[in-house]
Chains A and B, each alone.
Chain A
């Protein structure tokens, strides 16, 4: 049975920073375009959840046998992200999990491991590969123009109906000191000599793509789509020429729209390229970082691929609801580069573990006596009929409507923007909850009773010195 891509999803944060604002902030030569910027309540974990939700639209998360997470910016160096993402996505517990890290090719490497695992293990039929990066550039360096934030997910499965099969992969390893981040000290990426970095990039990426063509007796003109990572936008076009790909084969680098999102970039390029696949197209996806991976794919069902595009926000769907940041300072604030005094809320890893169903998996309860759905499941008695222990768990939708709200100026805790909209939300299908709102500008004008909201997984605070995640609401972005 063929192994390949059964579904895809992506996530781009709400905000884009116009590069002009960076140029003006530092008196740099202006570079055109915009780049995607995550808010301070987002990180590679929360963005992976979003990409995972997009990818799993209409797919039962409990049907998936594993999850791999790929990032150069995981939120912990000990404690994996994959298991937390799996929990939030409401996947089973008897699954395989792994984090792939430390190189921007981690995402393509994770795909190769997923293919091999499915091939080798008859009990594993599908693996969700999620990838995200929050690439923090050092202010007033040229890195600021490139580094961006985002996430993407590919569901790898062995299935007769997969629209895009994986035919082969090929990898090379290359060691060069640059760019790097020392685990114990560096907040920002360093480099020694960018020209040498570029030389290694060109060598690795052309070698890996050239070899995979050769192994499969293909010529450059046989390739319909080439979605390959770049670490330098100028190099991207040169690679297409060096590879002798046909006109329009190399997927646009997206540098001018969203910038360089790092690890998930090859997935994003692939997803962006899958809008109008030709029948029987052969596709190369390539990742780079201390070497390179190339993955050769074959379109099996172009209509199914197009349908995926219609039922997921993917790349274009997210792009449509992005808005521009109005000033450079907001960018510094979102990247938490402003030294602010922050309250720390109390926390308890014990409480959070005990309440996993409510706080991570987004379950409420349904009263077997009167049928009322309620959240959270802290109560042992029904709010409405007052029956004792009448509940069964129920998975809640991530959409709702504002019943009432306030804009709280008197806040303690790590809040991104004040006032904080505190919204009482009627969850679709039943249950009521209080959630803070994120991604809202001018809340005085824009928050209203009756407003439709989507519920999104975000970083709340760092009480007890760990990452405390919970759900917030946001104005609709159209997530399926």
Chain B
């Protein structure tokens, strides 16, 4: 599958994100405007330097088509495309933007994402009565991932306390991040006693509804030398995506992913990405990772699927501190989706922004010591779509 790839062909020369949260007084246009303004400023360019845009948006009510970019930024008719790929929408916008500069078709490209969820009200992701087949059951997002939790409890002996440790760690990390939606630490007891959303996942096992936007400016490494981050631009080492079925509950017991204790899209995307980036020991080589903690169970399974630990061992490794910000592999040093919420189309770009800044040593919160190589990971749908990106410091 991976042929020439894009390793070392794309450089991030500027990035930023808005504050995340219940941003009642701001529209999706305000958020996108602010994220792009900050990112161009970070890169030392103006919007007129941008040749083309890819924007990640999941929901139709946030915005349709690339014209969304023109609506607020007035790019003078430059090309823009909306990408939608569930929770990987933002990171897939970045992936497509990467291909555009790597191919030489464009020199400077904007990859961004935005989502405005709170305008629809905050009781769970909207639209679940509109999606899909009229008769087949449509479980809520937490219900989908809960079915994996139930199975992991059964197979690995994990408990609600194991899940609570994920929430406690991520809220602890998030408490240091000025842009996070939630900045309070929580206790294991609080997490375990929270109201149930989809058994066994309670409120603190689930990421929140939130608004936000993030943006990155990409170019080729040889051009990157002439911009603001000439000395510390960030290289894209790999960018992989894997799609599996939207309906894991129909996969027969001998089919891929049928055990519900691993997400085959993550395993495949990780395989592609590590091969492209030349990574053979992810646990040792990846210093900081922003992984998709839409639910606490997701983070535990991600750590296994991304090969940061052995199958069945994620809960124990977490307990032992392996995934703390100063542990062997820092998982979600920003505080993750648990602290930022999950404005869907923006999240991938937020993670890429976060890891870029970690590798540049300017992380706004928990700077991971000596972070040289980082990873970003989104998992969307019913574990259907996974995007995995590996970034590193410039040579």
Chain A residues at the B interface, C-beta cutoff of 8 Å: 343-348, 351-352, 355, 359, 372-376, 379, 383-384, 403-413, 419, 422, 424, 426, 430-436, 444, 449, 460, 463-464, 468-470
Q: Say whether B124 faces chain A, with CB atoms less than 8 Å apart.
A: yes
Q: Is B128 an interface residue (CB 8 A)?
A: yes
Size of B's binding interface in residues, CB under 8 A: 41
Q: Which residues of A contact B199 (CB under 8 A)?
A: 406-407, 419, 444
Contact A468 B130 (CB under 8 A): no
Query: Interface majority SS on A: helix, strand, loop or mixed?
Result: mixed
**Given known contacts A376-B250, A384-B254, A410-B198, A346 and B134 CB-to-CB distance under 8 angstroms:** yes
Q: How far is the CB of B92 from chain A (nearest CB, A)?
A: 24
B121 CB–A CB distance under 8 Å: no
Q: How far is the CA of A407 from the CA of B124 in the complex (A)?
A: 15
Chain B residues, Cβ within 8 Å of A419: 196, 198-199
Residues of B contacting A422 in the complex (Cβ-Cβ under 8 angstroms):
137, 139, 143, 147
Pick from A374, A406, A470: contact of B147, CB below 8 A: A406
B249 CB-CB contact with A under 8 Å: yes
Chain B residues with CB below 8 A from A372, complex form? 252, 254-255
Please determine whether B134 and A347 come into contact, CB atoms closer than 8 angstroms.
Answer: yes
Alpha-carbon distance between A372 and B154 when the two chains are bound, in angstroms: 25
- Cβ of B141: which chain A residues have Cβ within 8 Å of it? 410
B260 at the interface (CB under 8 A from A): yes
Question: Beyond A383-B255, A419-B199, A434-B249, is A406–B134 a contact (Cβ under 8 Å)?
Answer: no
Taken together as a complex, chains A and B put the C-alpha atoms of A281 and B143 apart, in Å, by 57
B140 CB-CB contact with A under 8 Å: yes
A383 with B196: in contact, given A343-B129, A435-B137, A449-B154 (CB under 8 Å)?
Answer: no
Q: Bound state CA distance, A411 and B144, in angstroms?
A: 12
Identify B134's interface contact among A343, A351, A409, A431, CB under 8 A.
A351
16 sample A-B contacts, Cβ–Cβ < 8 Å, listed by A number? A344-B129, A351-B134, A374-B250, A383-B252, A403-B151, A404-B148, A406-B198, A408-B140, A410-B198, A412-B138, A419-B199, A432-B249, A432-B250, A434-B250, A449-B151, A468-B134
Which A-chain residue is minimally distant from B128 (CB atoms)? Answer: A412
The one of A344, A383, A408 that contacts B256, using a Cβ cutoff of 8 Å: A383
Please report whether the interface of chain B is mostly helix, strand, loop or mixed according to DSSP. loop
Indicate if B146 sits at the interface (CB-CB under 8 A).
yes
Interface centre among A412, A430, A460 (most CB of B within 10 A): A412
Starting from the known contacts A406-B142, A409-B198, A449-B154, 5 additional A-B residue pairs (CB-CB under 8 Å) come to A406-B143, A422-B143, A432-B250, A432-B251, A449-B150
Does B105 belong to the interface (CB within 8 Å)?
no
**Which residue of chain A has its CB nearest to the CB of B260?**
A404
Please give the residue numbers on chain B whose beta carbons come within 8 Å of chain A beta carbons, in ascending order: 123-124, 128-130, 133-143, 146-151, 154, 196-201, 245, 247, 249-256, 258, 260
B132 to chain A, nearest CB (A): 9
Tell me the minimal C-beta distance from A80 to chain B in angstroms: 21
B137 A346 Cβ-Cβ under 8 A: no
Min CB distance, A417 to chain B, in Å? 14
A245: shortest Cβ distance to chain B, in Å? 49
Q: Once the chains bind, are A470 and B252 in contact (CB under 8 Å)? A: no
Q: How far is the CB of A314 from chain B (nearest CB, A)?
A: 30
A460: min CB distance to chain B, Å: 6
Most chain-B Cβ atoms within 10 A of its Cβ — which of A411, A426, A444?
A411
Q: Which of A348, A351, A406, A411 has the most CB of B within 10 A?
A: A406
A410 touches B134 (CB 8 A): no
Contacts of A433 in B (CB 8 A): 249-250
Could you say which residues of chain A place their CB within 8 Å of the CB of B196? 407, 409, 419
Look across to chain B and name the residue whose beta carbon is closest to the beta carbon of A360.
Answer: B135
Q: How far is the CA of A403 from the CA of B258 in the complex (A)?
A: 10
C-alpha spacing A422/B124, complex, angstroms: 17
Contact B250 A406 (CB under 8 A): no
Contact B250 A436 (CB under 8 A): no
Could you tell me if A432 and B135 are in contact, using CB atoms closer than 8 angstroms? no
B129 lies within 8 A of A352 (CB): no
Interface centre among A344, A348, A410 (most CB of B within 10 A): A410
CB neighbours (8 Å) of B128 from chain A are 412
Report chain A residues within 8 Å CB of B245: 383
A355 contact set on B, CB distance < 8 A = 133, 135
Query: Which of B151, B197, B252, B256 neighbours the largest number of chain A CB atoms within 10 Å of its CB?
Result: B252
What residues of chain B lie closer than 8 Å to A346, measured between beta carbons?
Answer: 129-130, 134
> In the complex, what distance in Å separates the CA atom of A351 from the CA atom of B134?
8
Known: A410-B198, A412-B128. A373 touches B140 (CB 8 A): no
Across the interface, which residues of A come within 8 angstroms of B123, CB to CB?
A: 410
Residue from B130, B136, B139, B252 within 8 A of A430 (CB atoms): B252
CB-based nearest B residue for A444: B199
Q: Do A409 and B252 have beta carbons less than 8 Å apart?
A: no
Closest-by-CB residue of B relative to A383 is: B255
Q: Measured between alpha carbons, how far is A405 from B260 in the docked complex, in Å?
A: 11
| A-B pairs, 9 with minimum CB distance | A406-B146, A434-B249, A408-B143, A410-B140, A347-B134, A407-B199, A470-B135, A383-B255, A412-B129
Please, how many angstroms separate the alpha-carbon atoms of A320 and B272 in the complex?
57
Q: Which residues of B contact A449 (CB under 8 A)?
A: 150-151, 154
Judge whether B198 and A460 touch: CB under 8 Å.
no
Minimum distance in angstroms from A383 CB to a CB of chain B: 4
In the assembled complex, how far is the CB of residue A343 from the closest CB belonging to chain B, in whole angstroms?
5
Contact B250 A407 (CB under 8 A): no
B143 lies within 8 A of A348 (CB): no
Chain A residues with Cβ below 8 Å from B134 are 345-348, 351-352, 463-464, 468
With the chains together, A371 CA to B259 CA distance in Å? 19
Q: How far is A347 from B129 in the complex, measured between Cα atoms in Å? A: 10
Q: How far, in Å, is A472 (CB) from chain B's closest CB?
A: 9
In angstroms, how far is the closest chain A Cβ from the Cβ of B64? 19
Q: B139's contact among A408, A426, A469, by CB below 8 Å, is which?
A: A408
Chain B positions within 8 Å of A374 at CB level? 250, 252, 255
Across the interface, which residues of A come within 8 angstroms of B247, CB to CB? 434
Contact partners of A413 in chain B: CB under 8 A: 129, 138
CA distance A434 to B137 in the complex (A): 7
Chain B's nearest CB lies how many Å from the CB of A43? Answer: 16
- Chain B residues with Cβ below 8 Å from A404 are 147-148, 150-151, 154, 260
Instruction: Please name all residues of chain A whose beta carbon is closer than 8 Å to the beta carbon of B137 when the two chains form the complex.
Output: 422, 434-436
The CA-CA distance from A383 to B253 in the complex, in Å, is 10
Residues of B near A345 (CB, < 8 A) are 129, 134, 138
Closest-CB distance, A35 to chain B (whole angstroms): 31
Given the interface pairs A345-B129, A346-B130, A372-B255, the reply to whether A424 lies near B147 with Cβ below 8 Å is yes
A352 contacts across to B, CB distance below 8 A: 134-135
B252 and A410 form a contact (CB under 8 A): no
Question: What's the minimum C-beta distance from B200 to chain A, rounded to whole angstroms?
Answer: 8
